[in-house]
Structure 1
Amino acid sequence: MKSRINKVSGIAIAVATALTSNISIAQETTETANTGLERIEVTARKSVESLQEVPVAVTSISADELSEKGISVITEVQQFSPNTTLQSSRGTNSTITAFIRGVGQQDPLWGYEAGVGIYINDVYVARPQGAVLDLLDIERVEVLRGPQGTLYGKNTIGGAIKYVTKAMSGDGEFKIQGTVGSYGQKDLKLTGQFPLIEDKLFVGFGVASLERDGFGEFLISAIPGEDKENYNKDLTASRITLEYHATDDLFFSLNWDKTKDKSNSKGGYRLLPSILTDAPVPDSVFDSYTSLPTWNEVELEGISFTANWSVSDNTTLKYVYSARESYSPTNIDFDNTALQIFDVPAIYDDEQSTHELQLNNYGDNYKFVSGLYYYDGESCGQFQAILTVLGNTAFGAPGLTRETGGCSDSQSTAAYAQLSYDLSDKWSVTAGARYTKDKKQANVYNGLVFDVVYPESGWVSGYVRPDGQLVPTVLDAEDDWSKFTPRIGVEYQASDDLMFFTSFAQGFKSGTFNPRATTTEPAANPEDVDSFELGMKSEWLENRLRANVTLFSLDHKDRQYISVLPGATTADLNQRLGNIGSSEGQGVEAEFTYLATDNLMLSANIGYIDSSFKEVFDTDPVTGVQFDKSDRFSISNTPEYTYNLGANYTIESDIGDFILNASYYYRDDYVLFEEDSLLTQDGYGLANVSVKWYSTEGNWSASLHVKNLTDEEYMIGGYQFVAPQADGSYLPGLGGDNTLIGYFGDPRTVSLTVGYQF
């Protein structure tokens, strides 16, 4: 799987010496102070437009805002986008759980498709492993809410997150930034650019080393000499960009990036004491126990090449190629004890390549965007569910392992077009559509091994992996689907500062095979989301107050879901994937920015959603009768309401400007699982304060950030393998123990960052 990147990287280095560039995608621009709020430009519709002109619910956060608020990782962006959930997943720092308007994908296993698309510039990142991006050399982050199936394609039924890197100025620049903080935080970032050929060829780079001690520790570890830090951070990231401006109308870019996260695997917090060993509920939610190695790894590498040709004053042609791969060996101790009650060492191994050809044409009264797209991806993996205690007691064997693995290969081709046409000075219409053809081939091997089996030799000291495949292939199949996803809208420009819009949009999440299959079974069909929006983009009080409001409703059909089937013992991991039913949601999103004085800016964003399952169909395994169990289901990772209240104040002085930021972010209660969830996080609020200083000359800066000021404890993930009883007790689940586990967000942290640029 490394061969594709290595081969392309070699070509890239050769090409880079002659030409390359990073396409300049719209930057935010600031008008003079007297004009009020800054004009914000976005590329939500794959063309440069003002935020206030785009009939889409989108939040844009600039590089300056990210820096001044101390936002260092993409999951923190959820605080500034209504009805948005971006969390680190359960076992690692780098795997993302993303939901927008109640639509997403919780399970990060290979083969499953996302509900929220993640993009680095124009490149789609298909897998959640490594998608918790640290913000290095970034221009802005855009959050597009609602289905984006026309312009962005499949797997954006909830929305899309766009990570936009900085374009180069062509001048020589260098910046160094260091951070120290709580829990031994030590970060170092270097970014810069310089011309190789004046006005023609530029090179840019960024490197980062991010380290932090654990928020907690593994109180007991069965592996002697293992690092016992829990929730620590040990990450390095690098990026190189080359730009070549061949002529005024033609330029090229080549980008390479690599990230390596060697942070420990995260241990969960036992919400119930173990009934099989000495593992009581720890005093700290960041403490845990484990019988697995604590090491973990997420390694990502990718390149992209872009060519942009201005055919004429109103026509551009763009080509984008990308190749990405990731490799993640990981240790997940589901039971979080020092016994092998329910241990799951795993490997994720993915690669993808994409091609996109885009033709844009603009006239006095229209904008036309069109393109062709091709995606080819292979997502592979394996996990071993080790249940040694159960193996000894139930079977008299040295151990018991359920070994599961396989690959899911996908090819997707699409053609899309969207036209925005002005009917008059006030009325305009938008119409677009995308046709997608998906093909997927999958194989799964799954079976029981009466031994303790790890993915590779040397996984634990002295372990040698048996040769050959230990379990049978249970599924080897392929299927294909085609989808037509339209978008239609009407806009009314009541005045220069006031626009109303309404739209209908559709998106789909690709069909997929069950990566945990225990027998041959058909693929689950694609999911569909139909969405209606009614919105307003407005500016008031001579451009000092911005108010953007969107009302929405969505119908989420053919939802894919894993159902657990009964077996002879709790070791039977029989699971079935199917389209179980549908859900719906209605809500509102409001974003306000008010420039109260030239130095004081106030902001508020509010999200509300009423979402629920309409129907969930299952079949009684005894009678074969179908029944509706929607009363047992809830929309996960989706608070009924969220809000963020913020203030930004500038103090001008003889030694420079001080920017003071304060915000309060609130999330209502939410469940972690759809079916019979035992894990509910009560509503909580996060208070954050920051101050950033810019020197008079503009080359020095320093900032102090305090996050989660009141040290709130809040759950962002978990596992539940117990059965609650009427008397409040629990029956043990898989592995024979009380496995009810929570993972938590960051505690209070304080950090100081100093930067110098020249």
Structure 2
Amino acid sequence: MRTTVARAALLVAALAASPAIAQSAPQDPQAEPAQGNAEIIVTAQFRSQKLQDVPIAITAVTGETLEQRGQTNLADLGTNAPNVTLRQSAASFGPAVVAYIRGVGQRDTNFALEPGVGLYIDDVYLPTMHGSLLNLVDLDRVEILRGPQGTLAGQNSIGGAIRLYSKKPSADTDGYVSATYGRFNRLELRGGANFTLAPDQLFARISGASVNKDGYITRYDYRCTHPGSTIPSTVTGKDCKLGTEGGKSYVAGRLALRWTPSSMITADIAVDVTRDNSEPGASTLLYVGRQAAPGVVLNGLATPTLPAYVLNGNLFGNATGSPYVSYSPFGNFAQDTFSNSPYINYENYTDTAPRDGSAPWSAPLKAALNTWGISGTLTADVSDNLQLTSITAYREFDGIYSTGDGSPFNPSLQANKVFNHQFSQELRASAKVGDIANITVGGYYFNKTSRYEARITLTTLAFLEEDTIPATTKAVFANADVSPIENLTILGGIRYTDQSKSFRYGRFGVPGSASGGAVPPSLAPLNGLVGKFSGSRVDYRAGVQYRFTPEIMGYAQFSTGFRGGGVNPRPFFPQQALPHDPEKLKAYEVGFKTDLFDRRMRLNTSAFINKYTDILVTVANCPITGAPAAPCSLPLNAGNATIKGFEAELALRPVDAFTIEASLAYLNFKYDSISAAAANSGIGREDRGQYISPWQWSLSAQYALDLGGAGTLTPRVDVSHIDSFNRNANNVDAVSGGRDIFGEIKGYTLVNARLAYATEDRDWEIALEGRNLTNKLYYADVFDNRGSTASVQGTPAEPRTWAVTLKRRF
């Protein structure tokens, strides 16, 4: 592996260096290119800069490129960004994304746990993973910043930041409306337009989207398809279909105003509303039951040997004769040919015979979210060298989602309600000191209150839950870059953060149950209990940047970051209500940014080593004195690790009409030490990091064929690959060295394509797109619930799809 990495690093260095020798004449880096790759302006360092001038590993994508790739939600962005994992989370966590950058992130959507990757919309921080599966509507650009961003963002972000920037109102004529129809009855309407309300002073932009699409997982009633079964039926008549999963139904709108009363002042106000009434996320049952295998124990549970069946390279399919169903609370429902498909689900979201003796109940068939927010950004140019910025925002959302175990019997069923409201205020002063320095100082305040309500049925427990989680962050920061001599810049930043949060547990019995609605005995001591966390920390950044030639810039930096501590949000016994400490990161990075051959070849590379301390993981085995080991879902600090890797991004434009884009990433994770708590839960130094894909790459090609006065025909192909990775913290057996197949998401390669025709004036465009053209069966995530229901659910991604889009620009 070391040889492979070394060779790859030499190849990247050679690609970066050799073309520089061939340059005939230096170019002015401030001049706009007449040809070659277009400039992308980013604001990662609190001011507008060209992407190639910023000493940070950034993937910047314009709204136009997102459209060409057919990327419509946040999870799509991880396909082309190196060492970035963005994927739809398991249905058990609601409408959310799993977000990791360089192996640092968060998969659990509970409000008590902070995201490891910061998410921003127009510089307003979103503090929860729940509701983060954002729709990409009317965006100007996306910036994905890799590495700690403590001194360069409103909220500290240990792994990196994803910043979405909407189009701003202006006097420019920039309007469009588009309509899309595709497989699964996909129907989308999108549009946006500028309006001048007062010439030279007041402008507005209105944008919106409406999306409806059927689900791609079909839910069947098991009794209807198997008349001899004793499982109760929930349908009547001959139609055995109960519905679908994975369907989308939402509308979103945004109104933005820009007021420029003078050349020195700009005020932006934006209001957005989303009403999402989508179906539950796609989920199918992969495994049920367990069978002991000598010498193989993972997560404290006996792990079966590999089954004899394989479907499309995935461990799934007809379970007849499989050891996975030798012990099953669901009977033999998995042992039939009818269920031999990942796109069939027998789950009915109904508990017809609750174990606690209460009446049958059904969970809402939704993954719904209502959200709205308002923000105001005021920018004042006090002088040519001093700018003041204020960003004030309020946001709130409420949602409902349900989840089960994927079986017809539903020994595990949950109905969840979530609420969150937040206020944030950021103030910045940015000064330019001649041509020597750029300095920014600022302060940040953030306050949120979240609430989580649920009815939860497990194989051993049934209860109602109502938790409240208030949290506050206060911070001050400073960032500077100083150029003592030509071409050399010294970088520095510092941040002080003070955090406080609490978690109030609410545990109640189910009315009408055999216990008379009393709280289950194991949960009673938790009701009313309050856990608290508070702490402060100083983070900093130091680096150097040097422009070797007008075409080549290099940088090196050291930075730190952290993710706040807290308490276990899901204790099933009082002994599990344990705190955890913050996790911390020290990051070392070097990189090069190049624009070569008259800017026809852009190659950006970076290499890094991260020292990760007190890594926060969630385990399903709690060997705690006085409490059973299961059920368990305990966050704990697992120990320290080293993460290292490299990234390369290429944009090649050999001729004006032909564009090639590529990315390559390598990531390696190794534990340096294991904490006592993690060791007691079965984690060892042999385990791999969560959501760590060793290799990841993408390749895209697009050619704009000029048809003369008849317009332009543009074919495009996108290919991407990601290696296998693990979602469980305990994923390698210490004795046998065997991997945990239950928590492993298999690697896959995807092929997408698009063919677009535009009229000569580009006023009209029609495009045909196909996604997952090879019809690859792959899983976006899995939910390993062996600790409480002896089952594992998968989140299958969409099969092959097609769509046609008609767009009118004006």
Counterpart-to-counterpart distance in 2, 1:662 and 1:617: 47
The Cα of 1:632 is off from its aligned counterpart by 5.8
The Cα of 1:438 is off from its aligned counterpart by 0.6
Given that 1:401 and 1:451 are in contact with CA atoms closer than 8 Å, whether structure 2 keeps it comes out as no
Give the aligned partner of residue 395 of structure 1: none
Give the aligned partner of residue 443 of structure 1: 504
Counterpart-to-counterpart distance in 2, 1:200 and 1:534: 44
Structure 2 counterpart of 1:505, from 559, 574, 577: 559
Give the aligned partner of residue 494 of structure 2: 433
Give the aligned partner of residue 699 of structure 2: 645
The Cα of 1:33 is off from its aligned counterpart by 7.0
User: 2:76 corresponds to which letter in structure 1?
Assistant: E
The Cα of 1:52 is off from its aligned counterpart by 0.8
1:315 maps onto 2:373 in alignment: no
> Quick one: percent identity of the two aligned structures?
25
Give the aligned partner of residue 419 of structure 1: 480
Counterpart-to-counterpart distance in 2, 1:450 and 1:185: 41
Unaligned segments of structure 1, at least 5 residues:
1-28, 392-399, 454-463, 723-732
Counterpart-to-counterpart distance in 1, 2:175 and 2:699: 35
Give the TM-score of the pair, scaled to structure 2: 0.81
By percentage of residues, which structure has more strand? 1
Give the aligned partner of residue 270 of structure 2: 255
Counterpart-to-counterpart distance in 2, 1:98 and 1:451: 40
Give the aligned partner of residue 715 of structure 1: 779
Give the aligned partner of residue 607 of structure 2: 551
Q: Report 1:401-550 matches (<5 A).
A: 401-446=462-507, 471=524, 472-473=526-527, 475-517=529-571, 518-519=573-574, 521=577, 523-550=579-606
- 1:558-605 alpha-carbon deviations (Å, 9 max, x no partner): 122334325999895345433221222110000111111222122211
Structure 2 SS opposite 1:601: strand
Counterpart-to-counterpart distance in 1, 2:31 and 2:250: 38
Given that 1:190 and 1:206 are in contact with CA atoms closer than 8 Å, whether structure 2 keeps it comes out as yes
**CA shift in 2, pair 1:627/1:138, >3 Å:** closer
Given that 2:366 and 2:400 are in contact with CA atoms closer than 8 Å, whether structure 1 keeps it comes out as no
Give the aligned partner of residue 761 of structure 2: 697
User: Once superposed, what is the RMSD of the aligned Cα atoms?
Assistant: 2.8
Structure 2 SS opposite 1:693: strand
**CA shift in 2, pair 1:307/1:154, >3 Å:** closer
User: 1:268 corresponds to which letter in structure 2?
Assistant: S
Structure 1 SS opposite 2:569: coil
Given that 1:617 and 1:627 are in contact with CA atoms closer than 8 Å, whether structure 2 keeps it comes out as no
Give the aligned partner of residue 637 of structure 2: 579
1:283 maps onto 2:335 in alignment: no
Give the aligned partner of residue 713 of structure 2: 658
Given that 1:268 and 1:287 are in contact with CA atoms closer than 8 Å, whether structure 2 keeps it comes out as no
1:231 maps onto 2:301 in alignment: no
Counterpart-to-counterpart distance in 2, 1:478 and 1:280: 44
User: 2:420 corresponds to which letter in structure 1?
Assistant: D
Given that 1:416 and 1:432 are in contact with CA atoms closer than 8 Å, whether structure 2 keeps it comes out as yes
Give the aligned partner of residue 256 of structure 2: 241
Structure 1 counterpart of 2:726, from 658, 664, 671: 671
The Cα of 1:145 is off from its aligned counterpart by 0.6
Structure 1 counterpart of 2:618, from 562, 566, 570: 562
User: 2:482 corresponds to which letter in structure 1?
Assistant: Y
Given that 1:173 and 1:194 are in contact with CA atoms closer than 8 Å, whether structure 2 keeps it comes out as no
Unaligned segments of structure 2, at least 5 residues:
1-28, 223-232, 289-324, 350-362, 732-739
Give the aligned partner of residue 735 of structure 2: none
User: 2:46 corresponds to which letter in structure 1?
Assistant: K
Deviates most, 560-569 or 112-121: 560-569
Q: Report 1:119-130 matches (<5 A).
A: 119-130=120-131
User: 1:56 corresponds to which letter in structure 2?
Assistant: I
The Cα of 1:660 is off from its aligned counterpart by 2.0
- 1:53-83 alpha-carbon deviations (Å, 9 max, x no partner): 1000000111111112211112111111101
User: 2:263 corresponds to which letter in structure 1?
Assistant: D
Q: Report 1:48-197 matches (<5 A).
A: 48-91=48-91, 94-152=95-153, 154-171=155-172, 173-197=174-198
Give the TM-score of the pair, scaled to structure 1: 0.86
- 1:173-206 alpha-carbon deviations (Å, 9 max, x no partner): 5421100011111001121221121221122111
Given that 2:374 and 2:395 are in contact with CA atoms closer than 8 Å, whether structure 1 keeps it comes out as yes
Deviates most, 464-473 or 432-441: 464-473
User: 1:432 corresponds to which letter in structure 2?
Assistant: G
Q: Report 1:562-641 matches (<5 A).
A: 562-563=618-619, 564-565=621-622, 573-619=631-677, 629-631=683-685, 633-641=687-695
Counterpart-to-counterpart distance in 1, 2:174 and 2:117: 35
Given that 2:610 and 2:644 are in contact with CA atoms closer than 8 Å, whether structure 1 keeps it comes out as yes
Give the aligned partner of residue 351 of structure 1: 421
Given that 2:140 and 2:167 are in contact with CA atoms closer than 8 Å, whether structure 1 keeps it comes out as yes
**CA shift in 2, pair 1:69/1:306, >3 Å:** same
**CA shift in 2, pair 1:232/1:492, >3 Å:** same
Counterpart-to-counterpart distance in 1, 2:190 and 2:100: 30
Given that 2:682 and 2:730 are in contact with CA atoms closer than 8 Å, whether structure 1 keeps it comes out as no
**CA shift in 2, pair 1:317/1:534, >3 Å:** same
Counterpart-to-counterpart distance in 2, 1:269 and 1:474: 36
